[in-house]
Chains A and B, each alone.
Chain A
Amino acid sequence: MKIHDSLDALLDALPLKDGLSISFHHHLRDGDRVINLVLNALKERNIKGMHLYASSIFPSYTAIKDLVISGHISDITTNYMNGPVAEYISENGLPGTLTMQSHGGRARAFEEGENKVDIAFIAAPASTKDGDVTGARGKNAFGSIGYAVSDALYANTKVVITDTIEKTLKPQIEGSHIDHLLKIDSIGDIARMASGTLKITKDPVGLKIARETIRFLDAVNAIKNGVSFQSGAGSVSLSITRMFNEYLKSKKLKGSFYSGGITGLHVNALKEGLVNDLYDVQCFDRAAAMSLLENPHHHFMSASDYANPHNPNRIIKDLDIVILGATEIDLDFNVNVTTDSYNTLIGGSGGHSDTAEDAKLSIIVSPLLRARTVLIKDRVNTITTKGTHVDVLVTERGIAVNPKRKDLINTLKNTTLNVMKIEELRQLAYNLTGTPAHKDHKLTPIGIVENRDGSRQDTLYKKE
């Protein structure tokens, strides 16, 4: 492994050429410095037509937009994108193709040679001189570096960029995989890692949705000893996690594990003995990062061990309950978290399609109405997650159960919960908003949404 003392020295030593494929992880979320730094340097060296494999793209990754405009990036494969980069691509497409994968699908694609990456750039908060790397130490410690493991194992050339050299550490990625090491002043701004998503809602509509979700879980007896649970970092999800913890406590139950993206709320459950273990692919806040470092029951896991559909030991195969969001859902329970109704890219699967498929009970939580826009459509604009993997929709005005879950429908026969068919829930919404008009648009494809197994699930189109 070679150690370099400047970015230029590093780039001089790398096999750069037109058509290069490069990868980055997104663990610093909106506070990442490395991706812009490296991309701008590659643009300076006029490396054209690159294929970018970024596990997610946040608003601050503006260099991506610049390089797409200048033709230095022609193809992108990612699991999530939002912000100015996403808006630009929605309006203009790419010179090449946009491919959206899930977190588990990305890991599989690396392993099975479909994501062929020439150079993986791994921003590491702490590294030894041998390239042993962890996300849990250093001044910009973000906890788990789970999404970078596939890159470290399967890319041709692996580069670690760090701002903290330590003598020794417990590696999340072994130095034996690493080819190059560079130390810079700062890999990012850890304070911006938790930007935006992390507040428990005080919004009364969000709290209503959260309460209804817990009531639903209670009504179908889903929360028992040994239960496993996963929720996102959206404000409604966080409220549900908090109420889920309270439920376990009040009924004197203990869960087996919480998985996925870990927050301080999940850590509280571990500390209070409400759950046995946490399996962490990504930390959403400092409390989670600290816990990963200190608590032996808080386990690091790679994206493959988390959700690779071809990994027989993936954690989520044992997942009982997952709470997920939606921008749209349709009458077949297909869910869209990738685009809005008019083809602007506003997200992507992340772990959505992975967990929805593997979990025994997949629950979508969302407001039914966002101002005058109704959540439920005839057909979603983009299928992120197939309806066959979605069990329940919980909104502030009613709950819809997928007809294929006759067992749940049967259990809910005498409930006081407002359960109805999804068509009826939509009509309830239309009775408030009026029936929206729809115009057919000429559609220009700009990319595809892949299934977890790599097959094509849906097409992405340009915004009108």
Chain B
Amino acid sequence: MGKQFITGSLESSDCMVTLYETTTPVIEVDTIVHEAFHDHIVTLINDTLKAENMEHMSVRIQDKGALDYAIKARLLSAIEQYKDDSNG
């Protein structure tokens, strides 16, 4: 497993996102609103990775009921850290 890029927190309404490279990309969502939003969150993560050309990356998220804007922000921040790290 490559380097992990971790953003966010486990506070209520937040999420902790771990972005990392593996041979086969995988999305893991552990959320307190499983029935209501699990599948939606998976889609959100996939869409965001695709828009950023990051479909080769894996994401693990521990979610405490974060809204979409916060999940996206945490993921985008991790992606930018990864890009800075790759370029730096």
Contact = CB atoms under 8 A, between A and B. Distances in A.
Interface of A: 342, 370-373, 432-434, 436-439
A437 B35 CA distance: 7
A371 B35 CA distance: 15
A342 B68 contact: no
18 contacts: A371-B12, A371-B33, A371-B64, A372-B13, A372-B36, A372-B37, A373-B33, A373-B36, A373-B65, A433-B67, A434-B37, A434-B68, A436-B35, A436-B37, A437-B37, A437-B40, A438-B35, A438-B36
A347 B64 CA distance: 23
Interface of B: 12-13, 32-33, 35-37, 39-40, 64-68
Contacts of B39: 437
A211 B37 CA distance: 32
A371 B40 CA distance: 16
Contacts, number: 38
Contacts of B65: 370-373
Interface centre among A370, A371, A373, A432 (most CB of B within 10 A): A371
Nearest to B40: A434
B37 A371 contact: no
The dominant DSSP class at the B interface is loop
A312 B26 CA distance: 66
Nearest to B39: A437
Contacts of A434: 37, 40, 67-68
A365 B40 CA distance: 30
A342 B39 CA distance: 18
A388 to B, nearest CB: 28
B67 A436 contact: no
Nearest to B65: A371
A237 B1 CA distance: 51
A343 to B, nearest CB: 12
A261 to B, nearest CB: 28
Given A371-B33, A373-B65, A436-B35, 14 more contacts: A342-B35, A370-B65, A371-B12, A371-B13, A372-B33, A372-B66, A432-B67, A434-B37, A436-B33, A437-B37, A437-B39, A437-B40, A438-B36, A439-B35
Contacts of A370: 65
A182 to B, nearest CB: 46
Closest 6 CB pairs of A and B: A371-B65, A436-B36, A372-B65, A372-B33, A371-B13, A371-B12
A373 B13 CA distance: 10
B69 to A, nearest CB: 9
Given A434-B40, A437-B40, A372 B67 contact: yes
A369 to B, nearest CB: 9
B13 to A, nearest CB: 5
Which residue, A370, A433, A439, has most C-beta atoms of chain B within 10 A? A433
A23 B37 CA distance: 43
A371 B64 CA distance: 7
A436 B40 CA distance: 9
Contacts of A373: 33, 36, 65
A415 B37 CA distance: 36
A439 B13 CA distance: 23
Contacts of B64: 371
Given A434-B37, A434-B40, A437-B39, A371 B68 contact: no
